[in-house]
Chain A
Amino acid sequence: KNQVEQSPQSLIILEGKNCTLQCNYTVSPFSNLRWYKQDTGRGPVSLTIMTFSENTKSNGRYTATLDADTKQSSLHITASQLSDSASYICVVTSYKYIFGTGTRLKVLA
């Protein structure tokens, strides 16, 4: 069964700290993996896309990694800001888009 699991479910950190969100998937065939950021009351917005051959990709303070062998991806946020408070959703594209349940991040001042 195609599945995308994310951990932790929720996370609270202090402003300025780093954090890492995890995404494990059992999806076949694999086309690509995207991380989306969803602010409260808004639609998801793409942060980065990872294809099979890519190991690491950065977008400002966001760095995504992909290990296609273990079928794991992570999203690392450096020097967190209050505006990083949001839900982060991992989406794996196969024949369809397979969505994870998301990680809800709260950054405190």
Chain B
Amino acid sequence: ETGVTQTPRHLVMGMTNKKSLKCEQHLGHNAMYWYKQSAKKPLELMFVYNFKEQTENNSVPSRFSPECPNSSHLFLHLHTLQPEDSALYLCASSQDVGTGGGGEQFFGPGTRLTVL
């Protein structure tokens, strides 16, 4: 995909490991998002960044630490995760933050995370 890319596509980690997920968007958007997708649940919004500034943290545990160095890149740093954190982590971008008419969100392919 050339729109929103995510690496790695698959990740297996132990509970004591530290790893990072990377997202990059090539669409010139200003807003970027991290979502968690678990089986049979709606997508859960984790973090929102607009113009590199965090505008929303949806009560996410501190073992997930986002970083947005610029409008095109978004990272999710992981440490001391729990098995229940195993899920598909999706990154998305949109022209700006979705307030009353937010633009279409474009999603990356996701990172399938397994915590042992």
Contacts and interface: CB of A to CB of B under 8 A. Distances in A.
State the majority secondary structure of interface residues on B.
loop
Interface size class of B (residues with CB under 8 A): 20 to 34
B4 to A, nearest CB: 7
Contacts, number: 52
Interface of A: 4, 9, 29, 31-32, 34, 36, 41-46, 49, 89, 91, 93-97, 99-102
Nearest 3 A/B pairs, CB to CB: A43-B107, A99-B42, A99-B43
Contacts of B104: 34, 46, 49
Interface stretch (B12-20, B61-69, B79-87, B92-100): B92-100
A100 B107 contact: no
B109 A43 contact: yes
A29 B40 CA distance: 26
B104 to A, nearest CB: 5
B15 to A, nearest CB: 24
A43 B4 contact: yes
